[in-house]
């Protein structure tokens, strides 16, 4: 179990409720009421298994965060999971609620030292009417560790969830991101960066279900693969009946640094409604030789030139990280992997 040091910072956020469930004051019946909304989600068997396996775990080491109605927090609230693991395991189970017209910025950072760790995580976010949640997840566990996490949101009328997911570490990663746009004009914006090197394996699954009229989603993935890394990317857009004039898009851009990498992309669109707009696109290729030659002709070494080109590819997502120290350390991590 994580040791709760991060709870000491909650005094900086007036009115924000942050409680470790095992010793908090939130009624279990109220928490169960929220959890049941997620349990009712109809999706694949794998997601159901994750929810069921983590259900009781929440009442052992879960963290509950709630932004009161109308409160807007510009300063990001940070959950830093970087020490104090029991039995080589890190199990986190976070339940987040943004009440009507609130705004909340959250940053979750998973990292460790030389110790081998198995991370099993679950983040559930309920975004109520006209609320906004910006959620940034950085995963940079060491190369001996394993990472399994699920991230879910339910978005109500005119609410918006913005996800940024950065996958840089762990020997094996299986990460899913599921969003239910429940009501009219609800929105989900999912952006991810991944870097696969060595023999790293990544299995990334992103799903948006459109139920609301005029709902909108955007899935954007940018990645780099080198050495013998393997990656599977699955993007799924579901337009349900009555989701009239919903709009969804998904796209992936991946740079293949070596011929020995394996990259599979499986975008899919499903629709039960005629009056919707959906699109998907995938691009995969090596670094542009002309750009590489131009930079090297200006005095950069080949490694330096590749760093600049990769950084340029990632910058549209990097620029949305609100913490400069975190942004800098993440960028340095990418550069180190390119050397």
In sequence order, what DSSP letters do the residues of 55-68 get, joined into one string? HTTHHHHEEEEEEP
Q: Which residues contact 180 (CB under 8 A, 6 or more apart)?
A: 41, 152, 153, 154, 155, 209, 211
Contact (Cβ atoms closer than 8 angstroms) between residue 205 and residue 176: yes
Q: How far is CA 66 from the centre of its chain?
A: 19
The pLDDT tens digits along the chain (339 residues) read 444 454 455 556 888 888 887 766 777 777 888 888 887 776 656 666 666 666 666 666 778 899 999 999 988 888 877 655 566 878 888 999 999 999 999 999 888 877 888 888 889 999 999 999 999 999 999 999 999 998 999 999 999 999 999 999 999 999 999 999 999 999 999 999 999 999 999 999 999 999 999 999 999 999 999 999 999 999 999 999 999 999 999 999 998 988 999 999 998 999 998 899 998 887 877 777 788 888 888 888 888 888 888 888 888 888 888 778 888 888 888 888 877
Same-domain status, 220 and 336: no
> pLDDT value at position 63?
86
Give, in degrees to the nearest 5, the angle at Cα 178 between 314 and 123: 85
Hey, what are 181's tokens? 């746009």
CA distance 180 to 188: 9
**How many domains in the chain?**
2
Contact (Cβ atoms closer than 8 angstroms) between residue 126 and residue 152: no
Same-domain status, 192 and 314: no
Residue where a domain terminates, one of 286, 302, 328: 286
Residue where a domain terminates, one of 252, 271, 286: 286
325 vs 84, 228, 321, 331, CA distance in Å? 23, 31, 10, 10
Same-domain status, 236 and 278: yes
249 vs 7, 149, 188, 210, 337, CA distance in Å? 37, 23, 11, 12, 30
Same-domain status, 295 and 278: no
Q: How far is CA 6 from the centre of its chain?
A: 20
Same-domain status, 274 and 311: no
Same-domain status, 204 and 132: yes
Give bridge partners of residue 254 from the DSSP assignment.
223, 284
Hey, what are 264's tokens? 């599979």
How do strand 247-256 and strand 216-225 relate by DSSP bridges? parallel
| Sign (positive or negative) of CA dihedral 36, 37, 38, 41 | positive
> pLDDT value at position 290?
83
Q: φ and ψ at 233, to 5 degrees? A: -120, 125
Same-domain status, 205 and 338: no
Same-domain status, 300 and 237: no
> pLDDT value at position 228?
95
Same-domain status, 176 and 42: yes
Give bridge partners of residue 64 from the DSSP assignment.
19, 95
Same-domain status, 256 and 114: yes
Same-domain status, 330 and 216: no
CA distance 178 to 99: 20
CA distance 64 to 20: 6
How do strand 89-98 and strand 132-140 relate by DSSP bridges? unpaired
Same-domain status, 74 and 212: yes
Residue where a domain terminates, one of 241, 258, 286: 286
Report the Cα–Cα distance between both ends of the chain, in Å, rounded. 35
Core vs surface per residue 208-232: b (16+ CB within 10 A) or e: bbbbbbbbbbbbbbbbbbbeebbbe
Based on its alpha-carbon atoms, the radius of gyration of the chain, rounded to whole angstroms, reads 20
Contact (Cβ atoms closer than 8 angstroms) between residue 267 and residue 261: no
> pLDDT value at position 82?
67
Domain that holds residue 232: 5-286
């Amino acid at each position: 179990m994580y040791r709760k040091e991060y709870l000491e910072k909650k005094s900086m956020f007036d009115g924000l409720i942050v409680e470790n469930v095992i010793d908090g004051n939130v009624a279990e019946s109220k928490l169960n009421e929220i959890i049941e909304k997620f349990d009712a989600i109809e999706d694949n068997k794998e997601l159901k298994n994750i929810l069921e396996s983590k259900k009781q775990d929440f009442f052992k080491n879960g963290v509950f965060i709630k932004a009161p109605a109308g409160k807007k927090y510009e300063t990001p609230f940070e959950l830093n999971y970087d020490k104090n693991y029991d039995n080589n395991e890190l199990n986190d189970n976070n339940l987040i609620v943004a009440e009507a017209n609130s705004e909340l910025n959250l940053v979750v950072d998973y990292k460790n030292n030389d110790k081998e760790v198995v991370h099993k995580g679950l983040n559930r976010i309920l975004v109520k009417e006209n609320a906004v949640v910006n959620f940034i997840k950085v995963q940079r566990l060491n190369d001996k560790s394993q990472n399994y996490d699920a991230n879910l949101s339910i978005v109500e009328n005119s609410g918006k969830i913005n996800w940024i997911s950065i996958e840089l570490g762990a020997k094996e990663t299986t990460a899913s991101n599921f969003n239910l746009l429940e009501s009219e004009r609800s929105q989900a914006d999912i952006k991810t960066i991944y870097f696969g090197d060595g023999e790293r394996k990544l299995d990334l699954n992103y799903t948006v279900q459109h139920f609301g009229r005029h709902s909108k989603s955007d899935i954007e993935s940018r990645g780099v693969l080198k050495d013998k890394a393997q990656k599977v990317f699955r993007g799924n857009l579901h337009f349900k009946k009555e989701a009239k004039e919903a709009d969804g898009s998904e796209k992936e851009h991946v740079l293949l640094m070596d011929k020995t990498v394996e990259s599979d992309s499986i975008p899919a669109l499903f629709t039960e409604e005629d009056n919707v707009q959906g699109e998907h696109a995938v691009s995969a290729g090596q670094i542009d030789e002309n750009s590489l030659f131009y930079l090297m002709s200006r005095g950069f070494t080949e490694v330096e030139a590749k760093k600049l080109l990769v950084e340029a590819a990632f910058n549209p997502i990097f620029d949305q990280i609100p913490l400069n120290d975190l942004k800098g350390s993440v960028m340095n991590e990418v550069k180190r992997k390119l050397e």
